[in-house]
Amino acid sequence: MLFGVIIRTTPEEKLGDLSESPRHCNHPPLLSEEPHPSPPKVNKLSLNSHFKVILASYTDLIEEINGGFHMNIVEVKNLSKVYGKGETAVKALDDVSFSVKKGEFVCIIGPSGSGKSTLLHMLGGVDRPTSGKVLIDQTDIYNLNETQLAIFRRRQIGLIYQFYNLIPILTVEENMTLPMLLDEQKVDPSHLKRIVDILGLTNRLSHLPNQLSGGQQQRVSIGRALISNPAIILADEPTGNLDSKNSEEIMELLKMFNKTYNQTLIVITHDERIALQADRIISIEDGKVAKDEVTRP
Ligand SMILES: Nc1ncnc2c1ncn2[C@@H]1O[C@H](COP(=O)(O)OP(=O)(O)O)[C@@H](O)[C@H]1O
Ligand SMILES: [Mg+2]
């Protein structure tokens, strides 16, 4: 959009230019008219602004075409969540609003108990908010009924947790393909193979979770999150239980999927080194957005 930034004119400029435009559309004088005393002067400055007007309208068009790549995949509007009632009520989220662009990598940071996991659950359609809206790819997800929401979640959202949440009696392959089976969808063997290869699990497909290391179990949970090709990957402290080498590898994998497949990535982390890798850092405090910083444009 550099092009747009360079040539964009302000609305005032556009109006000003349009009102001036007849001056630089001079026709040659008609025969019956007095001859023009001197050849019409080209006002370079207005001509320049006139071109700017034309270019700006092209820019609008280009922006509209490019809109698909820059649209907000997530829109959170005045989201609040209260757990419990009366004296024991806890306001975990308090009027939170922000949006996330398609393909963005956002880290959510904040002290323990500040509402990070609650926010991620609301984004993932796991739990209903007390008030406010979550729009995912323009669908108001809490307007869906339970069945519709479950289907939407399985297809559009990949969830990754700190403690993997794998099913102990299912093999690696069964754990990974479970969301597709629940959705009565066929697993594309080449898609599965590609994910398994990337995650380095080719020789572990028939193992059970307890036969794997922590890092491998987290790879399985990433595979399970990605099998349905979701638009968004939500990860709640995905490296919180791993050593630094495994943490790094898991983050590299998540970033690779984010960059290569343009999957929006939202990660809760305590780890400053991870947060600094994100495009943007949202800090949550007492259930509110305390800071929202873009680390790289
Ligand atoms: N299911 C629940 N029932 C009651 N209170 C909850 C529940 N889940 C979270 N909370 C409370 O909501 C607040 C925010 O929790 P959480 O979102 O888990 O914070 P974080 O992930 O930032 O540590 C905390 O005070 C927590 O005790
Ligand atoms: Mg949490």
Q: Are residues 147 and 287 in the same domain?
A: yes
Instruction: Tell me the helices (H) and strands (E) count for the chain, helix number first.
Output: 10, 10
| Among protein residues, the one whose CA lies closest to atom 25 of ligand 1 | 113
Task: Compute the C-alpha angle 169/172/175, nearest 5°.
Answer: 70
Q: Are residues 52 and 173 in the same domain?
A: no
Taking CB atoms and a 6 Å cutoff, what residues make up the pocket around ligand 1? 83-84, 90, 92, 110, 112-118
Which tens digit of pLDDT belongs to each residue from 121-138?
999 999 999 999 999 999
Q: How many domains does the chain have?
A: 2
Tokens 């999957």: give the residue: 263
* Ligand 1 mutation target, pool 80, 82, 88, 90, most atoms within 8 A of CB: 90
Domain final residue, candidates 69, 87, 111: 69
**Cα gap 222→252, rounded to integer Å:** 12
Q: Are residues 98 and 213 in the same domain?
A: yes
9 pLDDT above the threshold of 70: no
**Cα gap 24→260, rounded to integer Å:** 49
pTM above 0.85, yes or no: no
Q: Are residues 65 and 85 in the same domain?
A: no
Tell me which residue range forms the domain holding 163: 71-294
Spatial contact of 4 and 65, defined as CB atoms under 8 Å apart: no
Q: How far, in Å, is the centroid of ligand 2 from the Cα of 259?
A: 26
- Confidence band for 296, pLDDT divided at 50, 70 and 90: confident
Q: How far, in Å, is the centroid of ligand 1 from the Cα of 183?
A: 30
Phi and psi of 33, rounded to 5°?
A: -80, 160
- Confidence band for 65, pLDDT divided at 50, 70 and 90: low
Q: Are residues 206 and 282 in the same domain?
A: yes
Which tens digit of pLDDT belongs to each residue from 187-243?
999 999 999 999 999 999 999 999 999 999 999 999 999 999 999 999 999 999 999
Q: Are residues 90 and 189 in the same domain?
A: yes
Q: Are residues 34 and 99 in the same domain?
A: no
Q: Which atom of ligand 1 is nearest to the CA of 110?
A: 22
| Among protein residues, the one whose CA lies closest to atom 3 of ligand 1 | 83
